[in-house]
Chains A and B, each alone.
Chain A
Amino acid sequence: MLEFRKDLFAAERDDNLNIVGKGAQRQDMPGHVTGRSPFFDDHAFEGLLHLKVVRSPHHHARIRAIDTTAAERAPGVKRILRGADVPLNKNTLLSLINFGKDDEPTLAVSKVSYKGEPVVAIIAETEQQALAARALVRVDYDVLPHVFDVEEALKPGAPVVNETYPNNYFEYHDRYDHSKLRFGDVDRAFATADFIVDDRYQMSPIEHAPTETNGSIAAPEQNDRFVVHSCAQGLFFSLGTAAKILKLESNRLHFIGGTVGGGFGGKVDSLTEPLSILGAMMTGQPVRYVLDREEEMLYGSPRGAERIYIKDGILRDGRIVARRIRSYFDAGAYTRLSSYAAIKCTAHLPGPYTIPNVSADIYVAYTNRCPSTAMRGFGITAVDFALEVHMDKGAEACGMDPMEFRILNAYRDEDMKAHRRVAKNTALIECVQVVAEKAGWPLSDEARRQSSLTGGGGARALIPATPIDDNGRIGRPETRTGPATETLPAGAMRIPMTKQPIMEGSAEARPTPAAVPQYEPYRPTPASMPPAYQPMPAAPPPAMPPTAATAPPPAAAPAPAPAQPTQHGAVRFSSVFGTRRR
């Protein structure tokens, strides 16, 4: 059930809109509900070949030899691909935005770092033939010691998972083994706290479990190009990744996708596109590479587990005065997107609360498991679980109701956030108040009177003096603990403010109605003409009453007949457009 509280923030909103805010039926719904929407795997090709990969049976092993002679002679096998066939056999996804070092091969060459890592690709005329030939590939391994636990992986002497990052952690700013957040003096604040709440949380890995598994079909197109039917969540992201790995100019690839059977973050990695295109290049025929359900479940990169330690210092009146967080992202064997998740997590801390002293160390650790990747809310979902359970414990420690405790500590407009920027456009307090009312959760009058719009700023807008450190230098684990090297003075800012786009018609934090075209509701007679633009939040335009939210979309708008109906050759263009793929 969905309802609105239009009364809240009404002064900041113009509800005099035509179609925005209406629950119109989706453009693609008829295709979806009749099973006719084309997905990547709905494209038939003459002579379609099928690609399957041989995967590592070991968590960590050196490859001594690969023997594909029996597989090459197997029925239907057209081509076998090995690491040496991949033009650039090392990549990291975020190299497209210059973040991180290339660390992951498309096909493993000298060692495997997780169970399920692709080693050899087989292209055959049928899926069954590819699977049969897969069983004939002989790979000799020397099994190496493995490490699964993030904190074990960071200890000196742990097995090296990923040679690009020989210390088993992602390197931040070419300087530190973790991402830092420092705001105020947490140690001093802990000493003033009446209660200390300290705990450890563990997020589980999670499988994306999309209805449509990862896959792609690549085919040689005329004029020396390749067409790729893809389920990528970022079309150009995948195109750019494939072009880099295959050393192709990007305009030789024509990616088609856009309708995807669920992703949840698991289709950002371009797991299949580079190999299916390479297969099409090598065979001159269309190649399909689709993960089966077992591969998707076991090797299709899960949500990464995170281990999170939180320590809060709380005063008797319920105010949180200090929060320290240490967190470990489990990247698995390769970076993929974990490096960015940790940045996102760092910037999210300490959650939607105004806490005057915050410190965080966020690590990305490599372990011998399937590389983790983006998943719905990554960088945030796990830490929100930890923070909000911790908030419940904090409320209990100081004897407060959990909702009152959140309202007391909630961030408000004009408060300084821990990353040294002012909070704007906040609404946490109102969300808590609305739910309390709905759920019959008793709140004090004082809590009910609070507002995100007032009470912030002032002393809460100050950047405190902050001790900073040089702990955790790359390759020097003995520097992980150490004293502060200097204290940044109060108010210190080191990063210039970026020019933030402000959409036309809005002002800092107190937007006038967003820039919208002006509507004059249709009136058949000039006599009843209203003023053109009436920002009356409660009054929707008469043409489309709010009941449209639950009704099916209106039939083609009954536009009045044009004064001079024009009819000429242009009409045939519309029939051409009418056949466009939706």
Chain B
Amino acid sequence: MARHRGRGMASVNYPIGMNLGGDPSQALIHSNPDGKFTVALSAIDLGQGMKQVTRQVAAETLGVPMEDVYVDTADSDTGPHDMGSFASRGTHRMGNAVIAAAREARGVLLEAAAEELEVNAGDLVTDGRGNIHVKGAPSRSITVKATAQAAQFKQGKTIAGRGIFLIPLSTVDPQTGELNPNTAFAHACLVADVEVDDETGEVTVLKMASAYELGRAINPKMVEQQLVGGAWMGISHALYETPEPYYPDPSHGPRDFNEYLMPGPGDTAPYSVTILERPAPDGPFGGKGPGEMCANPVLPAIANAVYNAVGVRVNDLPITPEKVLRGIKANGGARPQPRRGGGG
């Protein structure tokens, strides 16, 4: 009886947003008279960071400090229509809507500043720190705050913007499946190292390494949060979770977290992620979105690693000790496959 190490990999891509299109997002932005901006959305923050992603996108586009922007979600009386937070669409769809709204607001902001400075709005730049000045001549400047106050109380201008992003709905050819799908695809590859106990059938994930191409990591900390949390979910899907362990037999339904198996703190594994950024032509600053795909390569990589360790193919998820043991038994014992470098 022994523990066998194995290594498996998987590579995937992921379509961003509802793939037939027809999923619009809207955003509204306005400034208060002190040059502080509110972004009003009906988008949902599930913990994934919708508020912060759109806050950074709005601040970047407006050219003001992030601290001068707050995002309000979600109130159907104040936030304009959005399809919702699903299909990895938040960053891409709503990010683009926020850019459109912020651009319109920035246009008014620069016009108001131009009027105060008596220059052409096209000659003005923002420094991202709360100032607007003539390109190449920072001494000819005005603060965003002073501009907003002048717009509100002197010029009678609304520093506000509306934005919408829509990929039109595609038809599908019934006979060939031809369609105009979404345009942004994220990519990933992951290697999982596991250990399989041929006496108990238990699989332990030792470590994982991945590369994710996400167009643009708008907030790397939140990307890390998504990818690490999602990898945990991937381990969970691969090895533990199901409300129907003998599907399609629906019996044994778990009723709470005592009965529903998920990896605990001792079952997680060291995980190293590398981010690649190939900007999507239609993404906000090229961003795609790591929301859903973060679990996807983990499932097959672990399944492939289990095969590499003991020579058992488990084609039905989850890969329970019972299935592994039955496989080892059917094979007449563990059959370790060739090692693949890297101290697996």
Asked if A195 is an interface residue, CB under 8 A from chain B, the answer is no
Evaluate contact between A556 and B67: CB separation under 8 angstroms: yes
Evaluate contact between B130 and A182: CB separation under 8 angstroms: no
Asked if B138 is an interface residue, CB under 8 A from chain A, the answer is yes
Evaluate contact between B187 and A428: CB separation under 8 angstroms: yes
Interface string of B143-169 (1 = CB under 8 A from A): 101100110110000000000011111
Evaluate contact between B220 and A202: CB separation under 8 angstroms: no
Evaluate contact between A381 and B75: CB separation under 8 angstroms: no
Q: In the complex, what's the smallest C-beta–C-beta distance from B136 to chain A, in angstroms? A: 6
Evaluate contact between B85 and A466: CB separation under 8 angstroms: no
B45: A residues at CB distance < 8 A: 28, 258-260
Asked if A222 is an interface residue, CB under 8 A from chain B, the answer is no
Evaluate contact between B211 and A435: CB separation under 8 angstroms: yes
Evaluate contact between A207 and B65: CB separation under 8 angstroms: no
Q: What number of residue pairs across chains A and B have CB atoms under 8 A from each other?
A: 582
A6: B residues at CB distance < 8 A: 277
Alpha-carbon distance A411/B13, docked complex (angstroms): 10
Alpha-carbon distance A428/B181, docked complex (angstroms): 19
Evaluate contact between A493 and B178: CB separation under 8 angstroms: yes
Evaluate contact between B243 and A205: CB separation under 8 angstroms: yes
Taking a contact as CB atoms closer than 8 A, the residue among A59, A520, A580 that contacts B138 in the complex is: A520
Alpha-carbon distance A206/B239, docked complex (angstroms): 12
Taking a contact as CB atoms closer than 8 A, the residue among A97, A260, A297, A419 that contacts B178 in the complex is: A419
Taking a contact as CB atoms closer than 8 A, the residue among B220, B233, B250, B301 that contacts A115 in the complex is: B250
Alpha-carbon distance A385/B319, docked complex (angstroms): 12
Asked if A369 is an interface residue, CB under 8 A from chain B, the answer is yes
Evaluate contact between A297 and B189: CB separation under 8 angstroms: no
Evaluate contact between B274 and A511: CB separation under 8 angstroms: no
Evaluate contact between B86 and A431: CB separation under 8 angstroms: no
Evaluate contact between A500 and B11: CB separation under 8 angstroms: no
Asked if A538 is an interface residue, CB under 8 A from chain B, the answer is no
Asked if B295 is an interface residue, CB under 8 A from chain A, the answer is yes
Taking a contact as CB atoms closer than 8 A, the residue among B32, B42, B131 that contacts A573 in the complex is: B32
Evaluate contact between B32 and A574: CB separation under 8 angstroms: yes
Alpha-carbon distance A369/B243, docked complex (angstroms): 12
B270: A residues at CB distance < 8 A: 1
Asked if B299 is an interface residue, CB under 8 A from chain A, the answer is yes
Evaluate contact between B286 and A573: CB separation under 8 angstroms: no
Known: A20-B57, A495-B180. A434 touches B274 (CB 8 A): yes
Q: Which residue of chain A lies nearest to B286 when distances are taken between CB atoms in the complex?
A: A514
Asked if B223 is an interface residue, CB under 8 A from chain A, the answer is yes
Evaluate contact between B129 and A581: CB separation under 8 angstroms: no
Taking a contact as CB atoms closer than 8 A, the residue among A24, A115, A206, A253 that contacts B241 in the complex is: A206
Taking a contact as CB atoms closer than 8 A, the residue among B135, B216, B253 that contacts A20 in the complex is: B216
Alpha-carbon distance A232/B165, docked complex (angstroms): 21
Interface string of A75-96 (1 = CB under 8 A from B): 0000000000000000000000
Interface string of B92-105 (1 = CB under 8 A from A): 00001001000000
Asked if A12 is an interface residue, CB under 8 A from chain B, the answer is yes
Q: In the complex, what's the smallest C-beta–C-beta distance from A560 to chain B, in angstroms? A: 7
Q: Which residue of chain A lies nearest to B84 when distances are taken between CB atoms in the complex?
A: A234
B297: A residues at CB distance < 8 A: 384, 388
B263: A residues at CB distance < 8 A: none
Known: A401-B340, A435-B211, A520-B138. A258 touches B255 (CB 8 A): no
Evaluate contact between B183 and A500: CB separation under 8 angstroms: yes
Evaluate contact between B279 and A13: CB separation under 8 angstroms: yes
B230: A residues at CB distance < 8 A: 376
Known: A2-B273, A148-B248. A419 touches B74 (CB 8 A): no
Taking a contact as CB atoms closer than 8 A, the residue among B47, B65, B295 that contacts A377 in the complex is: B295
Evaluate contact between B56 and A19: CB separation under 8 angstroms: yes
Alpha-carbon distance A469/B244, docked complex (angstroms): 37
Evaluate contact between A426 and B254: CB separation under 8 angstroms: no
Evaluate contact between B175 and A498: CB separation under 8 angstroms: no
Q: In the complex, what's the smallest C-beta–C-beta distance from B38 to chain A, in angstroms? A: 7
Name the interface residues of B215-255: CB closer than 8 Å to any CB of A: 215-224, 227, 230, 233, 237, 241-245, 247-250, 253-255
Q: In the complex, what's the smallest C-beta–C-beta distance from B11 to chain A, in angstroms? A: 5
Q: Which of A161-169, A314-322, A563-571 contacts B (4 or more CB under 8 A)?
A: A563-571
Q: In the complex, what's the smallest C-beta–C-beta distance from B256 to chain A, in angstroms? A: 5
Known: A343-B20, A511-B286. A439 touches B342 (CB 8 A): yes
Evaluate contact between B165 and A5: CB separation under 8 angstroms: no
Known: A205-B244, A468-B176. A506 touches B282 (CB 8 A): yes
Evaluate contact between A294 and B255: CB separation under 8 angstroms: yes
Evaluate contact between A421 and B181: CB separation under 8 angstroms: yes
Asked if A335 is an interface residue, CB under 8 A from chain B, the answer is no
A254: B residues at CB distance < 8 A: 75-77
Evaluate contact between B296 and A305: CB separation under 8 angstroms: no
Q: In the complex, what's the smallest C-beta–C-beta distance from B115 to chain A, in angstroms? A: 15
Q: Which of A125-133, A276-284, A402-410 contacts B (4 or more CB under 8 A)?
A: A402-410
Alpha-carbon distance A330/B130, docked complex (angstroms): 54
Evaluate contact between B276 and A204: CB separation under 8 angstroms: no
Evaluate contact between B170 and A432: CB separation under 8 angstroms: no
Q: In the complex, what's the smallest C-beta–C-beta distance from A149 to chain B, in angstroms? A: 5
Evaluate contact between B66 and A293: CB separation under 8 angstroms: no
Asked if B121 is an interface residue, CB under 8 A from chain A, the answer is no
Taking a contact as CB atoms closer than 8 A, the residue among A9, A410, A556, A573 that contacts B11 in the complex is: A410
Alpha-carbon distance A488/B301, docked complex (angstroms): 38
Known: A377-B14, A385-B303, A468-B176. A256 touches B281 (CB 8 A): no
12 A-B contacts, Cβ less than 8 Å apart? A5-B275, A24-B56, A204-B316, A255-B75, A258-B45, A340-B18, A384-B296, A421-B181, A425-B280, A517-B61, A522-B129, A543-B127
Given contact pairs A425-B278, A498-B168, enumerate 8 new A-B contacts (beta carbons under 8 Å). Answer: A23-B222, A406-B9, A420-B176, A432-B11, A503-B284, A516-B285, A556-B65, A557-B129
